[in-house]
Amino acid sequence: MRPERVKPYKFHKHTIIYDDGDFAVAYGIWEGRDERLAMRWNGYGDDIGYPSQGGNPLWFQLPNTGIWTSAMLEALAKIEGFKKIDEFKGMIK
């Protein structure tokens, strides 16, 4: 399932910051208050990917602490073709 189509109630206003077709990372608002990074495996064809619950696709939320966010953004910055790093550099501590 394309990550743009994954829209769980608790993780909204999210932006896909990385998607290689198999794996995606997003940045958004968790439960209306916390800015978070999240990730998921997209799945193939009619497969909704992972994680999911009750047939609904979800995002796996990373803890909202500096080490998780900054380490993930630094790793993404090293991937060739990752264009959105400038938008998120302020999160790297």
**93 has a pLDDT exceeding 60:** no
Average pLDDT, the chain: 81
**pLDDT at position 39:** 92
pTM exceeding the 0.85 threshold for the entire prediction? no
Q: Could you tell me the sign of the dihedral formed by the alpha carbons of 4, 58, 8, 54, in that order?
A: positive
| Through-space distance between the first and last CA atoms of the chain, rounded to whole angstroms | 32
**Euclidean distance between CA atoms 79 and 81, whole angstroms:** 6
**pLDDT at position 84:** 60
Q: Which residues pair with 36 in a beta bridge?
A: 28
- φ, ψ of residue 16 to 5 degrees: the values are -75, 120
Taking only the tens place, the pLDDT of each residue in 54-92 is: 999 999 988 877 676 777 777 777 776 665 656 655 554
Contact (Cβ atoms closer than 8 angstroms) between residue 76 and residue 18: yes
Tell me which of 85 and 50 has the higher pLDDT.
Answer: 50
Taking only the tens place, the pLDDT of each residue in 12-47 is: 778 888 888 999 988 888 888 878 889 999 999 889
